[in-house]
Amino acid sequence: MTELSKPEEDLQDPGEAQGPEEAQLLGAEAGEAASTSASSPQVSWSALAEALPQEALNEMVANLINFLLFKYRAKELTSQAEMLKKVLRDNQEHFSVVFSQASECLRLVCGVEVKEVDRRKHIYIMVPTLGLTCDAMQRGGQGLPKAGLLVVVLSVILQNRDRGPEEEIWGALNKMGVYVGREHSIFGEPRELLTQVWVRDGYLEYRQVPDSTPARYEFLWGPRAFAETSKEKFTEYLLKVNQRAFRSFPLPSAEDVREEVGGP
């Protein structure tokens, strides 16, 4: 773990660690996130949000997500003071609502938890949700983390008595804007990710339902999922997370992102 006091000029610009398309995408995502954070000062978040144009709020949230993802990849701590200095600057009064939405977006979309390790100095560390390390196994941990999608899939399996019918899994992901055969701007081609990548890595099992005619398929927890987390941890996590957040959290497709930035 690197020292928190690392000189500012030695830090990579978070804007370079993540492209502008990803920042815009996550800013839009975060605008839908619920405003819940136990570690921020108590203020009227709704009043602050109303006083700030949505576009400006989304931009600040996207910038903070960008910064926190950079810290996550670098395995570095950060603090409220550092976030105010390097990200929000002259918008310190909006820290609570921006930090809350950024943290919620990281948890639900990217599978990254922002945890406070020093309540007096407000120092934070970013860790994989529920201990899942799937992002570190792919492309050296680069790109946007995908553990959030794995959390959703494992949750659906758990809620279906440990066997997730394929139609149930895709039904849940469709509500998030993730569709079979459609390249997603964050998750790529989801069928390959679920039925090949995560099966190969041991997070999921994908098999035909016994005696099913016509053939139907289902997902189960894989051995690596059991090794890195547990059903008990997932149950506790699901009790803390508002389930409506998963259903109402729109993830735009790659086509939508290209249209927004004027790409081909």
Q: What is the CATH number of the domain that holds 173?
A: 1.10.10.1210
Distance CA(224)–CA(32), nearest Å, equals 31
In a domain, 261, yes or no: no
Of the pLDDT bands very low, low, confident and very high (cuts 50, 70, 90), residue 53 is confident
Cβ of 134: how many Cβ atoms within 10 Å? 24
d(CA 88, CA 70) in angstroms, rounded, equals: 16
Question: Is residue 16 predicted with pLDDT exceeding 70?
Answer: no
Last residue of a domain, one of 129, 147, 164: 129
Report the C-alpha gap between 145 and 69 in whole angstroms: 9
Predicted confidence band of residue 51 (pLDDT cuts 50, 70, 90): low
Q: Quick one: 99 and 152 in the same domain?
A: no
State the pLDDT confidence band at 6, using cuts at 50, 70 and 90: very low
- Average pLDDT of span 167-180: 90
Residue 2 within any structural domain of the chain: no
| Structural domain containing residue 58 | 8-129
14/121 same-domain check = yes
Residue 259 lies in a domain: no
Does 254 have pLDDT greater than 60? no
Q: For residue 196, name the pLDDT band (cuts at 50, 70, 90).
A: very high
Which CATH number covers residue 98?
1.10.10.1200
Whether residue 260 lies inside any domain: the answer is no
Contact of 236 with 247, CB cutoff 8 Å: no
Report the SS3 class of residue 25: helix
Distances (CA, A) of 255 to 54, 188, 244, 245, 262: 23, 12, 25, 23, 10
Domain identity same for 54 and 110? yes
Q: Is residue 91 assigned to a domain? A: yes
pTM: 0.67
Return the pLDDT at 143: 59
Mean pLDDT, the chain, as a whole number? 75
Instruction: Tell how far CA 155 is from the center of its chain.
Output: 15
How many Cβ atoms from other residues are within 10 Å of residue 230's Cβ?
Answer: 14
Boundary of a domain, candidates 129, 149, 174: 129
Number of domains in the chain: 2
In a domain, 258, yes or no: no
Higher pLDDT, 40 or 238: 238
- Let me know whether 227 and 183 are in one domain: yes
